[in-house]
């Protein structure tokens, strides 16, 4: 999640990406994303198991901001909000 292009970036893990993204977008849960306005889904990865997802989350959180920006730019250079891609038609 991001606040804007090249803005604040949040990395997290969930078993329900659509629901969790909606929660971040609507700021229904107090926390980092609500405080920093991270409401745009700009990048995501799918993993076969929660264990793999958590390991990847830790790897990303331990990495540099530059690396996170490069991951986003590689698949989403316009920083388009990907929520509609995963949520389907309204």
Q: Is residue 63 part of a domain?
A: yes
What is the 8-class DSSP label of residue 4?
S
In a domain, residue 27? The reply is yes
Q: CB–CB of 55/18 below 8 Å?
A: no
Residue 77 lies in a domain: yes
Work out the pLDDT band at 74, boundaries 50, 70, 90. very high
- In this predicted structure, the answer to whether residue 90 has a pLDDT above a threshold of 70 is no
* pLDDT (0 to 100) of residue 88: 76
Is there a domain that residue 53 lies in? yes
Burial 10-41 (b: 16+ CB within 10 A, else e): bbbbeeebeebbebbbeeeeeeebeeeebbbb
Give domain status of residue 68, yes or no: yes
Average pLDDT over residues 55-75: 97
Answer yes or no: are the C-beta atoms of 12 and 57 closer than 8 Å: yes
Q: Tens digits of per-residue pLDDT, 4-54?
A: 999 999 999 999 999 999 999 999 989 999 999 999 999 999 999 999 999
29 inside domain: yes
Q: How many domains does the chain have?
A: 1
Q: Are 39 and 82 a contacting pair, CB within 8 Å?
A: no
Residue 10 lies in a domain: no
**Domain assignment of residue 12, yes or no:** no
């Amino acid at each position: 999640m991001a606040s804007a292009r090249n803005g604040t970036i949040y990395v997290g893990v969930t078993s329900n990406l659509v629901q969790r993204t909606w929660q971040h977008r609507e700021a229904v849960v107090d926390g980092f994303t609500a405080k920093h306005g991270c409401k745009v889904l700009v990048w995501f990865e799918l993993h076969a198991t929660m264990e793999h997802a958590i390991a990847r989350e830790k790897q990303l959180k331990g990495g540099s901001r530059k690396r996170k920006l490069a991951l986003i730019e590689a698949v989403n250079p316009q920083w388009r909000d990907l929520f509609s891609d995963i949520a389907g038609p309204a």
